[in-house]
Amino acid sequence: MIIQLNIRQRAEEKEESLSPYAAKSTESRGRAGYEEPCPIRTAFQRDRDRILYSKAFRRLKHKTQVFIAPLGDHYVTRLTHTLEVAQIARTIARALNLNEDLTEAIALGHDLGHTPFGHVGEDVLDELYHRGFKHNEQSLRIVELLEKDGRGLNLTWEVRDGIVNHSKSGVEILGPDWGLVSTLEGQIVKIADIIAYVNHDVDDALRAGVITEKDLTLSVVRTLGASHSQRINTMVSDIIINSWAATGCDKKVEPTIGMSAPVLEATKTLWEFLCKRVYNVNAAEKDTERARMVVRHLYRYFNEHEDKLPLEYRVYSDDRERRVVDYVAGMTDQYAERMAGELGLE
Ligand code: MG
């Protein structure tokens, strides 16, 4: 046991050599409920593991990212998106000498609250539930309450802050409405999320034949590169260079995570192109309309038949509608489709 204690302490001591702006696990604002520290892992390493072992994390593999019910095996799912975000974010955090464990924990947890059928499901629940629905708030609700049969994962404050503040209005990349995250590690995940999705969505849209390489704006290709890997590499390298103050090299410069003006402009152009040619077009598709019907049907059915909710969704103190939202939002695409079929939706 004495040896094990040294293992965590050694990891905590290593954190002392991180940037002065890094979030250190020993300086965490802590967990809502006190727990004895783990003898082997730091608090952030432990949070990362808890998210990885959660049921909500496992369900990500059967949740849509953008393309609903794609026929190919190589489309991005919510799980592969999450892993890409974690990978990109860790690369940036490591380069800037920030806390990689905290970064990874936030990244793995950021999208746990996504509904079945991607943003389509989110929009339907937001429209139906009188208090509204946002996937980032649901991610927080999962880690604070729903996992472990209503006990939650009892994560540290910094991980929860990064999870709930990861989302942004798409048009405001790093703009005034970008939103606040308290740690630089959280800011990294927020921007890594965009890097991952604009790039894999181009890849998937090409795969689906919705766009061709020639459709990509010339200025985007010139600034970011002609291939998926080149574009990710350009964005990641640019962020590292433009956020170098986060390493603590120059105390006179405010540390933030950002991009240079040309790369930011090209990223926005790419995002706008995706909105016009992929996201909005996708929203009008038959599969999308079917997905809306499924979520509406399930929401109405379980509100009328509360007794049919699984036991674990009947024990919380919240109102019925809230419990129905929790259940429906937690479903995978396949589960929602199967359930709707069993309940008579043709
Ligand atoms: Mg995401």
Convert the pLDDT of each residue in 165-186 to its tens digit.
998 765 577 777 777 899 999 9
Residue 41 CB neighbours (<10 A):
17
Q: Rounded to the nearest whole angstrom, what is the distance from the C-alpha of residue 107 to the centroid of ligand 1? A: 8
Ligand 1 centre and the CA of 62: distance in Å? Answer: 15
For residues 88-113, average pLDDT: 98
The stretch 214-228 carries a mean pLDDT of: 94
Whether 69 is in a domain gets the answer: yes
Predicted pLDDT at 180 = 85
* Number of domains, the chain: 1
Answer yes or no: is pLDDT of 147 > 80: yes
- Is the pLDDT assigned to residue 127 strictly greater than 90? yes
Query: Does residue 308 surpass a pLDDT of 80?
Result: yes
User: Is residue 109 pLDDT above 80, yes or no?
Assistant: yes
Separation of CA 85 and ligand 1 centre (Å):
7
Q: 4 alpha carbon to ligand 1 midpoint, in Å? A: 35
CA of 82 to the centre of ligand 1 (A): 6
pTM for the model stands at 0.95
What average pLDDT score do residues 185-189 get?
A: 97
In a domain, 192, yes or no: yes
Instruction: Compute the mean pLDDT over every residue in the chain, rounded to the nearest whole number.
Output: 92
Gap from CA of 233 to ligand 1 centroid (Å): 19
Confidence of residue 66 (pLDDT cuts 50, 70, 90): confident
Which of these ranges, 5-14, 68-77, 192-201, has the smallest mean pLDDT? 68-77
Q: Is residue 67, in this structure, part of any structural domain at all? A: yes
- CATH number of the structural domain spanning residue 266: 1.10.3210.10
The answer to whether residue 205 sits within a structural domain is: yes
12-26, 178-192, 282-296: which has the highest mean pLDDT?
12-26
In a domain, 89, yes or no: yes
pLDDT tops 60 at residue 240: yes
Residue 4 has pLDDT above 60, yes or no: no
Kindly state the average pLDDT of the residues 315-339. 91
pLDDT higher for 179 or 320?
A: 320
pLDDT value at position 281?
75
Scored b (16 or more CB within 10 A) or e, 117-145 reads bbbbbbbbbbebbeeebebbebbbbbbbb
Asked if residues 24 and 132 have their Cβ atoms less than 8 Å apart, the reply is: no
Flag whether 217 is in a domain: yes
Containing structural domain, residue 232? 63-110+166-284
Percent of the chain scoring above 70 in pLDDT:
95
Weakest mean pLDDT among 60-74, 177-191, 302-316 = 60-74
In a domain, 276, yes or no: yes
Mean pLDDT of 117-144: 95
In a domain, 304, yes or no: no
**CA dihedral angle for residue 288, residue 293, residue 296, residue 300, rounded to 10 degrees:** -170
* 173-202: average pLDDT: 90
Distance in Å, CA 79 to ligand 1 centroid: 10
Ligand 1 centroid – CA 248 distance (Å): 28
